Structure 1
Amino acid sequence: MNLKSQNPQFDTDFFSALNHTLRRQALLSLLERGPLCVCHLTERLGASQPTISRQMAILREKGLVGSFRKGQWIYYDLARELPGWARAILDTLRETRPDIQNQSLHFAQNLCPGQDPPHLLFLCTQNACRSQIAFGWARALGGARVEVRSAGTHPHPEGVNPLAVSVMHARGIDLSGQSSTPVDASLLQWANLVVTVCGEADESCPVLPPGVQKEHWPIPDPDRIHGSSREIFLAFARTCDDIETRVRDLLKRLGIEILDTTLPSPATN
């Protein structure tokens, strides 16, 4: 594949976008789904509307996406002028699950037998839902083979979301004693791997100490769902299941044997 074009600046902008988590995920979403408005991208990527709008404006300025108005909404799509080689690279990234970053694989390869258990820090904005659920799953499935903490860039003053506690309780995991914790330098020094589970946390993640790895999981915020009590609860349940799958995959990639658990099946009523 010829990766050189007649526009070196475009090449630089394209590969720079691929190295930015949110911009890369936006490009892949447009490749997979076609034109999307900011509201769709916000839900799909788990970032705030201002954050998405800012990143899409950058992509449009660089000529990587185009936009058009449909009613009151602005829709974005991959630029018509996007070279074939660039689309081929995006196709390859889509096929290799771009939401799973290479950092944790690199981290796993550097673990030595007999080394202390890896330290995982799950980070989101409020430390009230997604990072707490990830903490619960990692602790339940990894046991003593991994040490886990969670924190937030702007912790929620009321602590863990009751619906997060409820859906995890239905799966046999108790989060009732958890509280929202602010991320600080000591936590970052403690961690081997930081996993951001929302777009805002990925954008505002502090500079990590040398040797600390990071990966990002673009998980939509279930607390933003509007609907009946049942619909909202089911949104939290889907988030819980999504995070369980991601945690299992992470532990597997880190070479950590998953505990044989007898966790109950979630209630469906």
Structure 2
Amino acid sequence: MTVPGGAAATPPDVLRLTGHPVRWQLLSELARSDRQVRELTALVGQRQSLTSYHLAQLRDAGLVTMRRSSADKRDAYYSLDLAACRDRLAAAGAALHPGLRLVPAAPTPAPGSGRGRARPVRVLFLCTGNSSRSQLAEAILQQLGGARVEAASAGSDPKGLHPHAVRAMRERGVDIGGRRSKHLDEFLEQRFDYVISLCDRLRERCPEFPGPAQTAHWSIPDPAAEATAEDDNYSAFARTADELHTRIQFLLYAIERATSPPERG
């Protein structure tokens, strides 16, 4: 149905879906960190059955995904698909008026643009072995963030750097072949602005770090555990690198907003 002038009389589904107060709160919480359903239930102050209902609505719309925890298969982590949200909301704006289409900014400001900050933002990525996921995240953030950020990675049970992680970064123009796996104990006395766990097992026993670091969890499966007969699981490493690249782009948006001086009117 349309109204005079050709505008749609019914709002796009994404607006009606995300406009519900509970679903909007769920999206807001998942924009900060991947969460288990019991955590989301406590955060939104609703019954678990109602929280699960709204999560199912968001999953059916393709805005939220769910993965079984690698620490306990009875648990699951919910994640917000930020790229899908961006695209759906951009289309909703354009449905109202072409001038309201959201035009995505450049994924990241030019590497090295610190905008006068006194020091780079420090980010620590953690997983169990520090052999693939956290190493990939560290290298991708260094590549995209330039001088604005100082990235590090560590593990609770360090193993040697996986050759597929080296290959995945080499295909992105970065050589990490000479890097070593580090134990998280090396960083316990250091201050970070962001501490991000990538492993479900480590998240549940992650130590405290000094200072008011923002903590988040990205539930990402271990690519080394996804072996296939066809390619000895390299494709899992490529997928992991792709997912980390997308998440880190959005992390840099958040860092830039948090550290940029307010605009003057």
In the alignment, structure 1 residue 176 sits paired with structure 2 residue 177: yes
In the alignment, structure 1 residue 15 sits paired with structure 2 residue 41: yes
Q: Paired residue for 1:147?
A: 150
Q: Secondary structure at the match of 1:189?
A: coil
CA contact (8 A) 1:153 1:204 kept: no
In the alignment, structure 1 residue 130 sits paired with structure 2 residue 136: no
Deviations 1:112-147 (A, max 9, x none): 952311111011111000000001101111111111
Deviations 1:49-86 (A, max 9, x none): x5233x47xxxxxxxxxxxxxxxxxxxxxxxxxxxxxx
In the alignment, structure 1 residue 236 sits paired with structure 2 residue 262: no
Counterpart residue type for residue 196 of structure 1:
S
Deviations 1:194-235 (A, max 9, x none): 011121121121123341111111111111113125261111
In the alignment, structure 1 residue 118 sits paired with structure 2 residue 121: yes
CA contact (8 A) 2:200 2:219 kept: yes
Unaligned runs of 5+ in 1: 4-11, 34-40, 57-89, 98-110, 257-269
Deviations 1:15-59 (A, max 9, x none): 33769xxxx99x9479737xxxxxxx7xx25x42x5233x47xxx
**2-structure distance, mates of 1:198, 1:223:** 13
Q: Paired residue for 2:59?
A: 32
**2-structure distance, mates of 1:153, 1:30:** 36
Q: Paired residue for 2:73?
A: 52
Q: Secondary structure at the match of 2:72?
A: helix
**1-structure distance, mates of 2:82, 2:245:** 20
Q: Secondary structure at the match of 2:178?
A: coil
Relative to structure 1, is the Cα distance of residues 225 and 191 closer, same or farther in structure 2, using a 3 angstrom cutoff? same
Q: Secondary structure at the match of 1:180?
A: coil
Relative to structure 1, is the Cα distance of residues 96 and 148 closer, same or farther in structure 2, using a 3 angstrom cutoff? closer
Counterpart mapping for 1:70-89 below 5 A = none
**1-structure distance, mates of 2:39, 2:143:** 42
Unaligned runs of 5+ in 2: 1-19, 23-37, 46-50, 61-65, 84-113, 258-265
Counterpart residue type for residue 126 of structure 1:
G
CA contact (8 A) 1:131 1:151 kept: yes
Relative to structure 1, is the Cα distance of residues 229 and 15 closer, same or farther in structure 2, using a 3 angstrom cutoff? same
**1-structure distance, mates of 2:138, 2:21:** 44
**1-structure distance, mates of 2:245, 2:39:** 35
Q: Secondary structure at the match of 1:255?
A: helix
Q: Paired residue for 2:250?
A: 249
**2-structure distance, mates of 1:149, 1:15:** 32
**2-structure distance, mates of 1:13, 1:123:** 21
- Identical-residue share of aligned pairs (%): 34
TM-score (norm 2): 0.58
TM-score (norm 1): 0.57
CA contact (8 A) 1:28 1:94 kept: no
**1-structure distance, mates of 2:181, 2:153:** 8
Q: Paired residue for 1:225?
A: 226
Q: Paired residue for 2:192?
A: 191
Q: Paired residue for 2:104?
A: none
CA contact (8 A) 1:121 1:191 kept: yes
